[in-house]
Amino acid sequence: MTHLRFYLTLLLALCLAVACGKADTNKPDETREQATHATELQEVKDQPDQSESADAPETVEEAMENVQEFTDKVKEESEKQQGGPITVADRDTLVSCLPELDDWQQSKPSYSKDSVAGMTSAKIHAVYTRNGENATVTIHDSGTMSSLLQPLKMVLSMNIGHEDDVKVEEMFQWQGCQGVKEYKKDGTSAKVTVLYKDRYILEIQGNTTIDACLELLNALKLENL
């Protein structure tokens, strides 16, 4: 696992911990008291009837209600960040964004859309080949899940970097957006990831050079996003 993915995993784990808990985030004092209470109950083993948190869901129905409440808040926050209701990009819109370069051969694009508890996202990807090189171009539209990208944005803003004898990981700016370049020094593997408009994840990776990945990135046509 790379250094960048390590930091991102830690932040995503924090988000998942929040998601799995009760969705009401307006009671920080109560949350701290519950954590303290839980610690005390573990130490006092002669009180098994008080060993569970009072806010833990007692039924599957209650757990599902908590999840739905959380996803509703995610959707609400996403629309607030994007300035209004969010319509997830359709196939034609994302296909129109893909690069068209004379010296790269493009495979048939593959589009998919997913919904989870009222949150919707979509993505498209296509494989590009040239003289033995290959790279997959992927555009993720996080849609009504876009507020969950804040951990990624936080990691990218940390200006984390790593270099050793084999590979390089470094942050960079692209059209005012934050991104990360990861590549092997021998030119056999590279990856570029950009967080675009706090909603779209642009990703180019494959058995090619970092310059080739940047060439494909710069050829994206994002006017319709």
Residue 66: the pLDDT is: 78
**Are the C-beta atoms of residues 190 and 213 closer than 8 Å to each other?**
yes
**pLDDT value for 194:** 96
Which whole number is the average pLDDT over 19-29?
A: 45
Whether 74 shows a pLDDT value over 70: the answer reads yes
**pLDDT per residue over 143-166, tens digit each?**
998 988 888 888 888 888 999 999
Residues 198, 149: contact at Cβ < 8 Å?
yes
Q: DSSP string covering 97-161, please?
A: TS---TTSEEPPPEEEEEEETTEEEEEEEEEEEETTEEEEEEEEE-GGGGGGGHHHHHHHHTT--
Report which of 87, 89, 107, 90 is spatially closest to residue 99, judged by C-alpha positions: 107
pLDDT class of 22 with cuts at 50, 70, 90: very low
Torsion angles phi and psi, residue 45, rounded to 5: -80, -10
> Nearest CA to 75 among 117, 127, 131?
117
pLDDT of residue 40: 53
Supply the pLDDT for residue 181: 96
pLDDT in tens, 93-120: 999 999 999 999 999 999 999 988 778 8
pLDDT score of 43: 53
CATH of domain 91-218: 3.40.1000
Sequence-ordered list of residues with C-beta below 8 angstroms from that of 69, at least 6 positions apart, any chain: 23, 24
pLDDT recorded at residue 13 = 47
Model confidence pLDDT, tens digit, residues 174-189: 999 999 999 999 999 9
Tell me the CA end-to-end span of the chain in Å, nearest whole number.
32
pTM above 0.75, yes or no: no
Q: Could you tell me the residue ranges of all domains in the chain?
A: 3-82, 91-218
CA distances from 109 to 38, 72, 114 (A): 51, 31, 17
Residue 144's nearest CA partner among 186, 88, 192, 182 is: 88
